[in-house]
């Protein structure tokens, strides 16, 4: 695994296949104004939150049903043209980019919550439903969907990237919370991968194979999810620490004791400073943990007392509490605004986000060494982390006019990933591989495992039309 040394090393390989006019014409006839070739529409569907730039897809089709998705895939398959599913475009790793050309299938109009089974704690949705929309629609039921990756991502996209976020420490990731899928395969067939039963040993786990496959094995057209009763009591707190190490050691001990904490997020002093400047929150400009406790009133009290005791052993300050929804929102604003606050701190900057995740016992080693390296580099950054899961993100804030900064940032990320892998961790806890981590994946799992992935891809998508060029090179 070699770190890039020149800005040119950082561009994804682009091999645009021909998209014959006859295919575009056929899509226009079939979908009329729902098939767009307008440049502005194509460009909007040809980029995401990653820092890559490649030519946009040749057309965008707004699908309204699984049957329509299947039709588009069958047509594209006829001409061996790539198809790329599109939800809201919040991917961070170039998943949406048409590196081999092709057609973008926009599923944002497939945005209905199809059924809520409150008694079974399941819900079935179309892929364009966003997580905030889902929670809005669940509001009256006393239930909620906990997975919160920050962005108001689509459930289809969250499934495809195996997303997680702040609540994963308690509720798991999309891996644990997707019960079943409807998927359009590379041949344009519609299949179902599971039932609403909570557990099953019925053959290969196609659900989990599709979750995290980044659109390379099929287009997800329906998702059945686990949902949860809103906790009787919710309490949030922030606590400042004399050092990142003290905050991390506190987290490690909380997890090792088995405290069922719902959220435990780290923000470093530097990032608190950015957030204060952005939102005038007046927080202590020290490393900070934001925590949330879910449960019965006594359970929440018990958890909080335990954590407070551990924090104080590590020099943490008294908790600042938030028990009403309004106060909680104020506290969580700090976390949710970190990205925007950081971007604003260096106007016009582009962000590259890291995503390593290590076993919790290795978290301090992994994080502290990388903080030292990043500080020494002079690259401005923010640092936030789902530290209860051993997952954290540096966001390097890069001046797009200074390509050498990008090289330095990629070198930092490269060294961080190498360190995480040495510590038995992964290069990506929740963002996915996309275009950006293909080499890291080989280093992480070994060539044999990636070969197995490639063999599966080749078998299920022999024409290589499902979002090609992502996760691994064929």
Restricted to residues 412-471, the positions that interact with its own copies (CB under 8 A) are 421, 424-433, 437, 440-441, 444-446, 448-450, 452-453, 455-456, 458-460, 471
Buried b (16+ CB within 10 A) or exposed e, 98-115: bbbbbbbbbbbebbebee
DSSP 466: B
Closest Cα to residue 408, out of 368, 380, 369, 444? 380
The least CB distance from residue 66 to its own copies, in Å, is 12
DSSP 428: -
Comparing CB distances to its own copies, the nearer of 128 and 149 is 149
By CB atoms closer than 10 A (0-12, 13-18, 19+), residue 155 is buried
Side-chain-side CA neighbours of residue 270 (13 Å): 17
| Tokens encoding 327 | 């106060």
The least CB distance from residue 232 to its own copies, in Å, is 9
Applying CB under 8 A, which of residues 8, 203, 326, 378 lies at the interface with its own copies?
203
Q: Which range in 47-55, 58-66, 205-213, 342-350 contacts its own copies by CB under 8 A?
A: 205-213
49 binds its own copies (CB under 8 A): no
Comparing CB distances to its own copies, the nearer of 400 and 446 is 446
Comparing CB distances to its own copies, the nearer of 11 and 447 is 447
Give the list of residues 6+ apart from residue 57 with CB closer than 8 angstroms, or none. Answer: 42, 45, 46, 84, 98, 101, 102, 103, 104
The least CB distance from residue 245 to its own copies, in Å, is 16
Comparing CB distances to its own copies, the nearer of 268 and 430 is 430
Comparing CB distances to its own copies, the nearer of 378 and 448 is 448
Provide Rg for the chain, Cα atoms.
Answer: 22
The least CB distance from residue 393 to its own copies, in Å, is 13
The bridge status of strand 233-240 relative to strand 288-295 is: antiparallel
Comparing CB distances to its own copies, the nearer of 109 and 362 is 362
195 binds its own copies (CB under 8 A): yes
The least CB distance from residue 199 to its own copies, in Å, is 5
CB 133 within 8 A of CB 87: no
Buried b (16+ CB within 10 A) or exposed e, 174-205: beebbbbbbbbbbebebeebbeeeeeeeeeee
Q: Which range in 50-58, 267-275, 294-302, 393-401 contacts its own copies by CB under 8 A?
A: 294-302
| Tokens encoding 94 | 């170039």
Binding track, positions 376-405, relative to its own copies; x by CB under 8 A? -------------xxx--------------
CB 284 within 8 A of CB 240: yes
The least CB distance from residue 395 to its own copies, in Å, is 17
The least CB distance from residue 352 to its own copies, in Å, is 17
309 binds its own copies (CB under 8 A): no
Q: How many residues bind its own copies (CB under 8 A)?
A: 91
Strand order in the sheet with 178-184: 113-117, 122-125, 219-226, 178-184, 190-192
Comparing CB distances to its own copies, the nearer of 106 and 182 is 182
Helices in 337-387 by DSSP H: which ranges?
Answer: 338-345, 363-377
CB 235 within 8 A of CB 168: no
What part of residues 222-251 is at the interface with its own copies (CB under 8 A)? Answer: 228-229, 231
344 binds its own copies (CB under 8 A): no
The label of the residue with tokens 């609540």 reads: 167
Applying CB under 8 A, which of residues 38, 67, 114, 191 lies at the interface with its own copies?
191
The least CB distance from residue 274 to its own copies, in Å, is 26
Applying CB under 8 A, which of residues 288, 307, 311, 360 lies at the interface with its own copies?
360
92 binds its own copies (CB under 8 A): no
What part of residues 119-178 is at the interface with its own copies (CB under 8 A)? Answer: 119-122, 161-164, 168, 172-173, 175-176
The least CB distance from residue 27 to its own copies, in Å, is 24
């Amino acid at each position: 695994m070699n770190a890039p040394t020149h800005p040119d090393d950082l561009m994804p390989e682009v091999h645009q296949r021909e998209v014959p006019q006859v295919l575009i014409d056929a899509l226009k006839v079939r979908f009329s104004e729902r098939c767009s070739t307008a440049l502005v529409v194509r460009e909007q569907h040809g980029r995401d939150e990653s820092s890559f730039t490649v030519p946009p897809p040749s057309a965008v089709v707004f699908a309204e049903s699984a049957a329509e998705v299947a039709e588009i895939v069958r047509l594209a398959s006829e001409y061996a043209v790539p198809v790329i599913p599109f939800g809201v475009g919040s991917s961070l790793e170039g998943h949406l980019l048409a590196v081999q050309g092709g057609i973008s299938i926009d599923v944002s109009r497939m945005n209905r919550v199809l059924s809520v089974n409150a008694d079974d704690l399941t819900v079935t949705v179309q892929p364009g439903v966003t997580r905030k929309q889902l929670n809005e629609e669940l509001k009256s039921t006393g239930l909620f969907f906990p997975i919160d990756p920050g962005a108001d991502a689509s459930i289809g996209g969250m499934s495809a990237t195996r997303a997680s976020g702040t609540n994963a420490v308690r509720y798991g990731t999309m891996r644990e919370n997707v019960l079943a899928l409807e998927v359009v395969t590379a041949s344009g067939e519609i299949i179902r991968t599971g039932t609403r039963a909570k557990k099953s040993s019925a053959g290969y786990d196609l659900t989990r194979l599709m979750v995290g496959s980044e659109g390379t094995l099929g287009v997800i057209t329906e998702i059945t999810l686990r949902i949860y009763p809103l906790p009787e009591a919710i309490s949030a707190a922030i606590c400042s620490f004399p050092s990142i190490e003290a905050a991390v050691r506190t987290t490690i001990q909380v997890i090792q004791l088995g405290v069922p904490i719902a959220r435990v997020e780290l923000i470093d002093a530097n990032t608190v400073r950015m957030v204060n400047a952005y939102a005038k929150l007046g927080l202590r400009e020290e490393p900070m943990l934001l925590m949330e406790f879910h449960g019965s009133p006594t359970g929440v009290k018990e958890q909080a007392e335990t954590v407070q005791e551990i924090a104080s052993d590590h020099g943490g300050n008294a908790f600042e509490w938030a028990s009403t929804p309004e106060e909680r929102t104020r506290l969580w604003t700090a976390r949710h605004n970190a990205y925007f606050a950081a971007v604003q701190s260096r106007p016009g900057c582009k962000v590259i986000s890291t995503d390593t995740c290590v076993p919790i016992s290795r978290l301090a080693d992994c994080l502290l060494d990388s903080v030292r390296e990043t500080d020494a580099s002079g690259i401005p950054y923010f640092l936030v982390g789902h530290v209860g899961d051993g997952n954290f993100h540096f966001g390097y804030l890069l001046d797009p006019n200074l390509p050498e900064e990008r090289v330095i940032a990629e070198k930092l990320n490269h060294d961080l990933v190498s360190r995480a892998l040495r510590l038995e961790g992964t290069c990506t806890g929740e963002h996915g591989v996309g275009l950006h981590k293909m080499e890291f994946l080989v280093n992480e799992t070994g060539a044999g495992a990636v070969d197995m992935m490639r063999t599966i891809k080749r078998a299920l998508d022999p024409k290589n039309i499902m979002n090609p060029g992502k996760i691994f090179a064929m």
